[in-house]
A and B are shown apart, each in its own frame.
Chain A
Amino acid sequence: DGGITQSPKYLFRKEGQNVTLSCEQNLNHDAMYWYRQDPGQGLRLIYYSQIVNDFQKGDIAEGYSVSREKKESFPLTVTSAQKNPTAFYLCASSKGRGNQPQHFGDGTRLSIL
């Protein structure tokens, strides 16, 4: 079945450590996105990519980095500069321009040790 796969489901980070969240899609979608969700809040956009080898900062990009070397993959690295990384991270993809709905993965829950 086509879909978006995020891994791992749960992730723990030590102080000063960088961690990478994986996001893979087999929907042949051009655009991919990373969102952060905090308790009782909506989703906030971290980074997005509309095409391979190109990505843009969203509303809360500080302390995060991404790459888009393949159409299917859009990994997110949470760096040590992100001082409050505990949150639920959701990856999404869509067909690209226009009003196409975004489809989401199951999410990764990141916690600090």
Chain B
Amino acid sequence: AQKVTQAQTEISVVEKEDVTLDCVYETRDTTYYLFWYKQPPSGELVFLIRRNSFDEQNEISGRYSWNFQKSTSSFNFTITASQVVDSAVYFCASMNTGFQKLVFGTGTRLLVSP
């Protein structure tokens, strides 16, 4: 069975600090997909990134970067030079092949203060 663990319930930082959100996943499949979503106070989930299990290259998109390590079953998300607009709940999720069932972690609430 799939499982996603986000051990950090809430993180508070001051603007311009770097912050890393942790995600640990469990799956028996050799092929799987990992996702990060952002949920701002308005409520909708915004898709940030998808990563395939056979591609361990790290990815950078502006101030966002993702570190995927199969050896530790982790898919961590780093925000560089955080901004107040980054304040949101961030969810990590996994999906196996076949039916597209997303399994979500419990989320990490990020509070960025000015």
B104 part of interface (Cβ distance < 8 Å): yes
Question: Which residues of B sit under 8 angstroms from A97, Cβ to Cβ?
Answer: 98, 100
Which of B41-49, B63-71, B79-87 is the contact stretch? B41-49
A84 part of interface (Cβ distance < 8 Å): no
Do the beta carbons of B45 and A104 come within 8 Å of each other? yes
Q: A48-B101, A101-B35, A102-B102 are in contact. Are A42 and B91 (CB under 8 A)?
A: yes
A90 part of interface (Cβ distance < 8 Å): yes
Do the beta carbons of A106 and B44 come within 8 Å of each other? yes
Question: Which residues of B sit under 8 angstroms from A101, Cβ to Cβ?
Answer: 35, 47, 50
Do the beta carbons of A42 and B43 come within 8 Å of each other? no
Question: Which residues of B sit under 8 angstroms from A13, Cβ to Cβ?
Answer: none
B52 part of interface (Cβ distance < 8 Å): yes
Question: Which residues of A sit under 8 angstroms from B104, Cβ to Cβ?
Answer: 42-44
Do the beta carbons of A43 and B44 come within 8 Å of each other? no
Closest-by-CB residue of A relative to B97 is A99
Residues 33-74 of chain A, each 1 if its beta carbon lies under 8 Å from chain B, else 0: 100000011111100101000000010000000000000000
Q: Which listed residue, A45, A90, A107, touches B101 by the CB 8 Å rule?
A: A45
Q: A97-B100, A99-B33 are in contact. Are A42 and B106 (CB under 8 A)?
A: yes
Category for how many chain A residues contact B: 20 to 34
Closest chain A CB from B3 CB (angstroms): 11
Do the beta carbons of B91 and A94 come within 8 Å of each other? no
Closest chain B CB from A21 CB (angstroms): 14
Within 8 A of A (CB), among B92-112: 93, 95, 97-102, 104-107
Q: In the complex, A94 Cα to B104 Cα: how many Å?
A: 16
Do the beta carbons of B45 and A90 come within 8 Å of each other? yes
Do the beta carbons of A88 and B43 come within 8 Å of each other? yes
Do the beta carbons of A40 and B106 come within 8 Å of each other? yes
Q: In the complex, A97 Cα to B95 Cα: how many Å?
A: 11
Residues 1-38 of chain B, each 1 if its beta carbon lies under 8 Å from chain A, else 0: 00010000100000000000000000000000101010
Q: A40-B106, A42-B107 are in contact. Are A102 and B43 (CB under 8 A)?
A: no
Residues 15-41 of chain A, each 1 if its beta carbon lies under 8 Å from chain B, else 0: 000000000000000010100000011
